[in-house]
Amino acid sequence: MNIRPATKEDFASCVSMGLEFVEMAGFEPVEDKVKQTIDNLIETESLLVAGEPATGMIGGIIYPHYFNDEVIAQELFWWVSPLHRGSGIKLLNAFEEWAEKRGADKVMMISLEKNDVSRIYTKRGYSALEHTYEKTLWQ
């Protein structure tokens, strides 16, 4: 499966996958925000896709760590459409390469409660750092 940077031609399929991811993750999807995020990631060459047409994607950002001098590549989402599973590790490999080429010292990945992939991370040398908890304040 070919892994490549996403282009404008991938926008519609990436938005569709993004909405699937958001729903699966348990967030309330706002289509305009998903579109904006996908567009920004394509523009900054921060979204990688698998296949043509795209059937999987991984997107992230690079930023200086808040407490030290390290540069972090933070995954925002990693998704492969259920009917096309099998290219996920290739996407992760490509994301790690993308991060290294952009000067990242470390990669930070997320494992959702609803789709725990922590075993994949630990097999690849990742260490668990924290658990994130969410609470809705206004209803």
Q: Which residues of the chain have pLDDT under 70?
A: none
* pLDDT at residue 39, rounded to an integer: 98
Q: Exposed (0-12), middle (13-18) or buried (19+): which is 53, by Cβ within 10 Å? A: exposed
- Domains in the chain (CATH in brackets) are 3-123 (3.40.630.30)
* pLDDT at residue 22, rounded to an integer: 93
Give the separation between CA 15 and CA 30, rounded to whole angstroms.
11
List pLDDT tens digits, range 64-93: 999 999 999 999 999 999 888 888 999 999
Q: Where are the beta strands (DSSP E) in 32-121?
A: 47-50, 56-64, 71-80, 106-108
Give the separation between CA 4 and CA 71, rounded to whole angstroms.
23
> Which DSSP letter does residue 112 get?
B
* pLDDT at residue 134, rounded to an integer: 84
* pLDDT at residue 63, rounded to an integer: 98
Q: What is the pTM of this model?
A: 0.92
* pLDDT at residue 64, rounded to an integer: 97
* pLDDT at residue 99, rounded to an integer: 98
Cα angle 39, 45, 47 (rounded to 5 degrees) comes to 70
